[in-house]
Structure 1
Amino acid sequence: MKRLSITAGAVALTVGLASPAVADRDSKDHGRATTAFGQAKLTGFASLPAETFVPNSEPSGSAIGAGPFNGITGPFADQPVQGFSGAVNRHDGSYDVLSDNGYGGKANSADFLLRVHRVAPDTKTGKVKVRGGFDLSDPYRKVPFPLTRANRVLTGADFDVESIVRAYDGSYWLGDEFGPFLLHFSSKGKLLEAPIPLDGVRAPENPYLNGAQPTIGGSKGFEGMVRSVDGRHLYPLLEGTVNGDTPGDLRFSEFDLKTRDYTGKRFIYRPESPANAIGDAIAVDKNRFLVIERDGGQGADAKFKRIYLADTRDRNGDGAMDKTLVADLMNIANPKGLGGFGETFTFPFTTIEDVVLLDDRTLAVLNDNNFPFSSGRTPGKADNNEFITIRLSQSLKADKRALR
């Protein structure tokens, strides 16, 4: 989630089948990205209203003030279904989507319960149904530092969960930004192990900082996370540069699920601008990952919202993953006028934080709506959670295991 001056919580969901977009620079004049794919095409659109709440849940948003925020007044009688920062395809027409810490920081998110929602987008009707979900908790007392609630249900003051993958055993691994930590949960959302830190990397929110200097910026921890196609490794991707690294460079570290330890191997993802951020990452095969890269703009100020194919083999030898632009999310063909939009569809949100590989040429893309603070679609109106699907101009030649 992008840290705004104020952040609140009803979700805008967007999932999209992304057709590749044209790169504005090629390998001759820019060593990072090569031109290969053409314009992606919108193949599906659905939207979940911003003011969607978990029925009969607890009040939320008491620390954000009354507002109004984009026409919405706080606090809320229930928990908002918002902040989608990670998605898992359940292969039955539904997705598990992860809400982040709630309203943008520890100080204003203690009454936001961390939760995985189950949603079912219908691109024929354009609507998204919420089929339930589960809260995240620590009943086995695996977290060694104090939590917000005595019942050990986890809140946005405890962790900022921004990425999620499902292991082949059905459990979930989440990436947190406050540590940053890796968090291992059961299929029902119960924490199974103590939070796992990354050596040498500590955010300002890290509970073990004890007055020491952080080595990464606030809320710049694990924004994306890849499960390897063989299920053996995780590759959490930092959103910020570690102190001492080349400005803008982001670490993709390798974690071994058998040894429960980092291997020491890592790759570098280099954004097109040090000012850009990443939103999510998924595997295509053992060497290639899809990565969302974006600027911080929304609406008319949104210029750079893209998906790259990043290759760990670094064939040009510049020390970073090789990049190929596959989809420009600000320039998607929409010949059928889906969603009531024109022939060119844009995804102009501050935070685009979910990408799912549906088949060799189709992606689903979702936004984090920072409810109720983002208004990228319509100025002055809180963003919905949009779900889009996009078709790429050519095949990714993905490993079949990446589709599981």
Structure 2
Amino acid sequence: MRKTMIGLGAIAVALSLSAPALADGHDGHDGQADHQSHGGGGFGRATLTGWASLPAQTYVPGSEPSGFKLGTAPINGITPPFPGQPVQGFSGVARRHDGTYDVLSDNGFGNKANSGDFLLRIQRVKPDLRSGEVKVVGGLNLSDPAKRVPFPLTRADRKLTGADFDVESIVRQPDGTYWIGDEFGPWLLHFSASGSLLEKPVTLPGVQAPENPYLNGGTANLGSSKGFEGMARGLDGRHLYPLLEGTVAGDPAGTLRLNEFDLRDRAYTGRRWAYKLDAPGNSIGDMITVDRDRFLVIERDNEQGTAARTKRVYLADLRDRDRDGAVDKTQVADLLDLANPRGIGGFGSTFTFPFQTIEDVVILDDSTIALLNDNNFPNSAGRTPGTADNNEFITVRLSRPLGADPRAYRRY
């Protein structure tokens, strides 16, 4: 098995960002969101403007071997256990304004039982346009040295693993600390800039997943690992908006709860909205703030490759103007049908992002977004059957501006 270390090996990149001018006096509430639908809603076909790829077999230098509970049979051409900690599973992203991105590796190898040797980590990646490489330029492990977690952890050194939490969403604060959404509780976790847990995990009242250690023989009302898949920070800087991936028992099928959390009070405000999936079997992948009332949300099916049918980015409006009890949705990009007139990345005139899990979105400017896939290393093979997926980074120009509040993309 070939081992690809961080910063080694050329990675093909073709990346060009468009930066259209912002309309004068734009506050994100000019009526563009009136066009609410599950189709175009005023947005036409989006265009691929950049592509980069990080090889699947990229490991943190000098890290511990992993994957010992996956058996010894090859998985998509890669045989476990692995020689180090994979730089994989990008399930959350926070843009930094130095050309780098903090990307969150999730719980590891698929579930609580097999991920005890996967160290939870925030990776820092940088697409280098001049050299044609995507470099992993650093990162930090997540840990609990102050013993904020009140239940037993997997490791005595209190480094956090994929058997402790399933981290899926991330918000970086102005002070450099991180709020991270977990799926096992579900919990909100607050980490220092160096990765140390600062506070006791914050529970979501009335909701428990099967992995929650406080069930005490009770019945979970949320599916396994269906907690906080997406999370955004409000423009006011005071609130977080974590979005569940699964439907809470008793709620209408295919609806997901979006809650509001007050960072000053360290408590949920009681305000809640419903995001309705196109189909009950779908999932959301990530979300990010557009303005006071609107968010971008990735919605996907659970298929990959040619079987994939739903990989979309929606503009979700909390104002519910059609009064159906759910946030209004406008499709802004179909990730299975992106125009590629320049043949970026060596692909054809139509580019597809056909991965099982697409879990990262950021706004680069009012008309351009960036997305990354979670390659579920080594389990997903959406790009080439039988070959473990790489982590791909793409930029997409929307057919028209979002009308976003500039703070939504200038500060993250």
Q: Partner residue of 1:276? A: 282
Q: Partner residue of 1:6? A: none
Q: Partner residue of 1:120? A: 126
Amino acid at match of 1:329: L
Inter-partner Cα distance in structure 2 for 1:275 and 1:123: 38
Change beyond 3 A, Cα 1:31–1:118: closer
Inter-partner Cα distance in structure 1 for 2:215 and 2:326: 30
**What is the CA-CA distance between 1:95 and the residue it aligns to?**
0.3
1:385 and 2:391 are equivalent in the alignment? yes
Higher relative contact order (CA 8 A, sep 6+): 1
Q: Given that residues 16 and 366 in structure 1 are in contact (C-alpha distance below 8 angstroms), is that contact kept between their aligned partners in structure 2?
A: no
1:317 and 2:323 are equivalent in the alignment? yes
Instruction: For structure 1, list consecutive stretches of 5 or more residues without a partner in the other structure.
Output: 1-9, 20-26
**What is the CA-CA distance between 1:15 and the residue it aligns to?**
12
**What is the CA-CA distance between 1:169 and the residue it aligns to?**
2.1
1:243 and 2:239 are equivalent in the alignment? no
Instruction: Say which SS state the counterpart of residue 220 (structure 1) adopts.
Output: coil
Inter-partner Cα distance in structure 2 for 1:134 and 1:15: 28
Residue 194 (structure 1) aligned to one of 195, 200, 204 = 200
1:353 and 2:359 are equivalent in the alignment? yes
Q: Given that residues 119 and 128 in structure 1 are in contact (C-alpha distance below 8 angstroms), is that contact kept between their aligned partners in structure 2?
A: yes
Instruction: Say which SS state the counterpart of residue 314 (structure 1) adopts.
Output: coil
Inter-partner Cα distance in structure 2 for 1:363 and 1:17: 12
Change beyond 3 A, Cα 1:16–1:289: farther
Q: Given that residues 287 and 298 in structure 2 are in contact (C-alpha distance below 8 angstroms), is that contact kept between their aligned partners in structure 1?
A: yes
Q: Partner residue of 1:288? A: 294
Inter-partner Cα distance in structure 1 for 2:242 and 2:343: 37
Residue 179 (structure 1) aligned to one of 185, 188, 193 = 185
Q: Partner residue of 1:157? A: 163
Q: Partner residue of 2:96? A: 90
Q: Deviations over 1:132-184 (max 9, x none)?
A: 10000001110000000111000000000000001222210000000000000
Change beyond 3 A, Cα 1:284–1:317: same
Q: Given that residues 14 and 345 in structure 2 are in contact (C-alpha distance below 8 angstroms), is that contact kept between their aligned partners in structure 1?
A: no
Instruction: Say which SS state the counterpart of residue 63 (structure 1) adopts.
Output: helix
Instruction: Say which SS state the counterpart of residue 69 (structure 2) adopts.
Output: coil
Inter-partner Cα distance in structure 1 for 2:53 and 2:291: 30
Inter-partner Cα distance in structure 2 for 1:166 and 1:220: 22
Q: Partner residue of 1:234? A: 240
1:303 and 2:309 are equivalent in the alignment? yes
What TM-score does the superposition give when structure 2 sets the normalisation length?
A: 0.90
Report the aligned-residue RMSD: 2.1
Percent of aligned positions that are identical:
66
Q: Given that residues 310 and 322 in structure 1 are in contact (C-alpha distance below 8 angstroms), is that contact kept between their aligned partners in structure 2?
A: yes
**What is the CA-CA distance between 1:229 and the residue it aligns to?**
1.3
Change beyond 3 A, Cα 1:296–1:275: same
Note the 1:14-33 alignment, pairs <5 A: none
Change beyond 3 A, Cα 1:100–1:184: same
Instruction: For structure 2, list consecutive stretches of 5 or more residues without a partner in the other structure.
Output: 19-32
Q: Given that residues 15 and 387 in structure 1 are in contact (C-alpha distance below 8 angstroms), is that contact kept between their aligned partners in structure 2?
A: no
Q: Partner residue of 2:346? A: 340
Instruction: Say which SS state the counterpart of residue 290 (structure 1) adopts.
Output: strand
Note the 1:60-79 alignment, pairs <5 A: 60-79=66-85
Change beyond 3 A, Cα 1:328–1:351: same
Q: Deviations over 1:174-202 (max 9, x none)?
A: 00000000000011110000000101100
**What is the CA-CA distance between 1:266 and the residue it aligns to?**
0.7
Query: How many pairs were matched up?
Result: 385
1:47 and 2:53 are equivalent in the alignment? yes
Note the 1:128-139 alignment, pairs <5 A: 128-139=134-145
Q: Deviations over 1:336-368 (max 9, x none)?
A: 101100000000000000000111011000000
Change beyond 3 A, Cα 1:401–1:201: same
Q: Given that residues 121 and 141 in structure 2 are in contact (C-alpha distance below 8 angstroms), is that contact kept between their aligned partners in structure 1?
A: yes
Residue 167 (structure 1) aligned to one of 163, 166, 173 = 173
1:330 and 2:336 are equivalent in the alignment? yes
Amino acid at match of 1:249: T
Inter-partner Cα distance in structure 1 for 2:338 and 2:16: 10
